[in-house]
Structure 1
Amino acid sequence: MIDQDAISAVLQAGAHRREERRRFLRIAGGAAAMAGGMTLLSSCGDDDDGPAITLQPTPTGTPSPTAAAPPSEADVFNFALQLEYLESNFYLFATSGQGLPANLRTGTGTQGDAVGGRQANFTDPVVRQYARELAEDELLHVQFIRRTLGSAVAAQPAINIGGDANGAFTAAARSAGVVGATGVFDPYATDENFLLAAFLLAEVGVNAYMGGVQFLNTPAFIEAAAGIHAVEGYHSGLIRTALVTKGIQTPALNVFQNAQRISDARDTLDGTANTGLLNQGGDRDQGLGTPDNLNLVNADANAIAFVRSPSQVLNIAYLAAGPNIAGGGFFPNGVNGNIRSTTATG
C-alpha cells in the first residue's frame, strides 16, 4: 500500500476519484477479456486497489531486416510511465516534500531515485490547490499504468528534478534563456517558477500520448491512453491559464516572455524549430501569446494537439538535440524500457 503518512496532504481529497478509477479498471478488464486482448489478474501486485489488466509483451520473434518492429503496447505504456514518474515526483515533492513511495518505483531495468526535489514555497493558495490536484492526478496515473503493465512494468529510473546549479530545471532554463548562462532556476522558490516548470513538463506529456496511441490496438488500452491524454490536456490548460493570470497581474515577472522561451526551446530540442509545421502562424509549439492576444491552447490550425514522436520527447527530456542520445537532463542515466534512445528520423 502507499505510504499515507508521507503523502497524506496530496491524497486526502482523492478517495472518491480513486474509486472511480478502480471501477474503470474492472470495466476495462472485463471488456478486454471478452475481446481476447488481455487477461484479468487476481491481484494488483503493488497494492490492493483491485484487479488489473496486463499488456501483451514485446514480440520476441526475429525482427524484419528492412524495418524495425513497431513498439508493443507494453513498450508504449512503459514509455508513458517514465514520463509519469518524472511528473509525479516533481508535483509530489512540490506539495508534500516527498516523492513516490518505494513500492511504486520497482520493476525491470535500473531503479533510481528522484533527486533535487523539495517542498515548494507556495504563497498563492490557488496555485497550491492546483499543485495538489496535479500531484494527485499524476500519482494515480503511475498507479494505473503500473497495474496495467503488471509483471512487465519498468522501474523508475534516476530522475533529476533539482533547481540548484546542477539541477535539470536550471539546465532547461539556461538552455531556454529564462536565466543566464550561470543563473539558477529554482522551480520550488515561487508560484511563478513552479508554474513555468509545470508548463515545461505538462505539454510534452500531451504530445507524447498523441505520439504513442498510434501503436495501440486493444480498445481498452486505446480508451485508457485517450483518457490519460485528456487529463494531461486539462493540466496544460490549467497551467497556461494560471500563468496568464500571473503575467497580467504582474508584468514585471516576464511570464509571457519566459513561457515563449520555454516553448521555443522545446521546438529547438525536438528538431522542429522554424519549420512552420502544422500551425498557420509558423510556430509549432506555441507560448501564451500576449496580454492582448492570449493563446491558452497549444494546438494546430485545426485546433488539434500535435504529435511528438518518442524520440522527440526524449530529446526534450534529455535536454539534448540530435540522434543516439540515451540520457541526460531530467533522466541522467536514461529511461527504462525498450524505448530509450533518440533516433535520426525523429
Structure 2
Amino acid sequence: MPDDQKIIEVFEAREGRRASRRDMFRGFAAASAAAGGFVLANKSSPVAAQSVSDGDILNFALNLEYLEAQFYVYAASGAGLPESLLSGTGTRGQATGGRRVNFTDPAVAAYAREIAADEQAHVAFLRGALGSAAVAQPAIDISANPNGAFSTAARAAGLIGPGQSFDPYASDENFLLAAYIFEDVGVTAYKGASPLVSNKTFLEAAAGILAVEAYHASLVRTTLYAKGMQTPALIDASIAISNARDSLDGSSDLDQGLTTSQMSGGTASNIAPLDANGLAYSRSPGQVLNIVYLNNMAVTGGGFFPNGVNGTLRMSAAN
C-alpha cells in the first residue's frame, strides 16, 4: 500500500474516533444556550477580568493547532490540511512553503505520521467545539526561505549565519529540530491557558490536548536526545533554540534544552522540562505569541504568522 494511502487511512480512522466527541460538544453548547446557561461568549470571573471568553481561548489554541498541523501534515504527506478545515471567521490565509520530508529513519517517519494525524484531529475537534465561532486559518509561513520563519528562528539561535536558510524538510534531524520549536511552546501554552477556562467540559478537553502535546514534546525531545548521543551538535542546537525562545518571552529563564544534569549514579537526560517542583511551566498567550511571531515586543503579527493570528488574543507581550 503506498505511503500516501496509509497516511490518509490513519487520518480517517482517527477522525472517526473523535467524531462522537465533537458531537458531544455541539450538543452541550446548544443545550446550554437553550437553557440560558453557558455560551462561548459568556465570561466568568477570571476570564472577564481580562475580557477574554472561553471561546477566545479555544480560538487562540486553534490558531496554534493550524500551525502545528500544517507543518506535520506537509512533512508526513507532502500536502496540507483539507480545505474543509480552513474556513471560519477572520481573514483566511494560506500555509506556504511546506513539503514532504524524505525520511531516512523509519521510526522518525512513523512518529511524523502519528503526530500529523493527532494535530489534524485537534484542528477538527476544536472547530467542532467552536462551531460557527471558529476562526479561519490565518496566513502561515512554514517555508525554508532565508527570510522565512524557520530560518529567522534558526538564525536567532545561532544555528545558521546571515543570508543562510534552515530547511526543516531537508533531513530527519532538521525536521526534529523544527518540531522541537513547536512542541514545547504548545505544552506551555495549554498549561498557561488552563486557569482561564471557566467551563469544566472545555477545561477537560484542553487538558486532553495538553496531555497529547506533552506526549509529542517528550517523543521529539527523546528522539533528539538519543540522536544527540551520537551527534552532540543536536543537543547543542536544542540549548540554542531554548535560549532563543527565552530571549523572546520575557526576563524569566524558564525554557530548557536537552542538557544532562548530574544525578546520583550518573547523568540524567532533560526530557521533561520542569520547574523546581517537578511541574510543567506555563506561558501566557502574549508570551506564546512572542515566540511564534519571533518578536519580543507587543506586535500583532510576524514570524510563523506573518499577518497575525485570528481572534481576540492576537497581540504579543511587551518584553
Tell me the TM-score normalised to structure 2 length: 0.89
Q: Report the equivalent of 1:299.
A: 274
Identity of aligned residues (%): 50
| Equivalences for residues 181-196 of structure 1 within 5 A | 181-196=162-177
Q: Report the equivalent of 2:296.
A: 321
RMSD of aligned alpha carbons: 2.5
Q: Report the equivalent of 1:261.
A: 240
1:164 to 2:145 alignment: yes
1:116-141 Cα deviation digits (max 9, x unpaired): 11111211010000000110000000
1:178-202 Cα deviation digits (max 9, x unpaired): 1122221100001010000000001
Q: Report the equivalent of 2:264.
A: none
State the SS of the aligned residue for 2:10.
coil
1:23 to 2:2 alignment: no
- Give the deviation of 1:284 after TM superposition: 1.4
| Equivalences for residues 1-346 of structure 1 within 5 A | 8-27=5-24, 32=28, 37=32, 56-58=39-41, 69-251=50-232, 254-272=233-251, 275=252, 283-290=253-260, 292-323=267-298, 325-344=299-318
The whole-number CA distance in structure 1 between the counterparts of 2:34 and 2:116 is 30
- Give the deviation of 1:16 after TM superposition: 4.5
- Give the deviation of 1:11 after TM superposition: 3.3
Whether contact under 8 Å (2:56, 2:312) holds in the other structure is yes
Whether contact under 8 Å (1:37, 1:218) holds in the other structure is no
The whole-number CA distance in structure 2 between the counterparts of 1:174 and 1:266 is 12
- Give the deviation of 1:39 after TM superposition: 7.0
Alpha carbons of structure 1 residues 27 and 326: separation in structure 2 relative to 1, 3 Å:
closer
What is the identity, as a one-letter code, of the residue corresponding to 2:257? Answer: G
- Give the deviation of 1:245 after TM superposition: 1.1
What is the identity, as a one-letter code, of the residue corresponding to 2:244? Answer: A
1:16-73 Cα deviation digits (max 9, x unpaired): 543332333345566x469x64679xxxxxxxxxxxxxx824359xxxxxx9643101
Alpha carbons of structure 1 residues 9 and 39: separation in structure 2 relative to 1, 3 Å:
farther
State the SS of the aligned residue for 1:192.
helix
Alpha carbons of structure 1 residues 198 and 233: separation in structure 2 relative to 1, 3 Å:
same
Whether contact under 8 Å (2:290, 2:317) holds in the other structure is no
| Worse overlay, 189-198 or 16-25 | 16-25
Whether contact under 8 Å (2:294, 2:302) holds in the other structure is yes
Gaps of 5+ in 1: 41-54, 61-66, 276-282
Whether contact under 8 Å (2:96, 2:141) holds in the other structure is yes
The whole-number CA distance in structure 2 between the counterparts of 1:115 and 1:33 is 34
- Number of equivalences: 308
What is the identity, as a one-letter code, of the residue corresponding to 2:212? Answer: V
- Give the deviation of 1:271 after TM superposition: 1.1
What is the identity, as a one-letter code, of the residue corresponding to 2:105? Answer: D
Alpha carbons of structure 1 residues 188 and 145: separation in structure 2 relative to 1, 3 Å:
same
The whole-number CA distance in structure 1 between the counterparts of 2:51 and 2:279 is 24
The whole-number CA distance in structure 1 between the counterparts of 2:177 and 2:208 is 24
Tell me the TM-score normalised to structure 1 length: 0.83
1:170-225 Cα deviation digits (max 9, x unpaired): 01000111112222110000101000000000111101111212221211101100
| Worse overlay, 5-14 or 241-250 | 5-14
- Give the deviation of 1:90 after TM superposition: 0.2
The whole-number CA distance in structure 2 between the counterparts of 1:260 and 1:38 is 48
The whole-number CA distance in structure 1 between the counterparts of 2:157 and 2:302 is 16
Q: Tell me: higher relative CO, structure 1 or 2? Use CA pairs within 8 A at least 6 residues apart.
A: 2
Which structure features the higher share of helix residues? 2
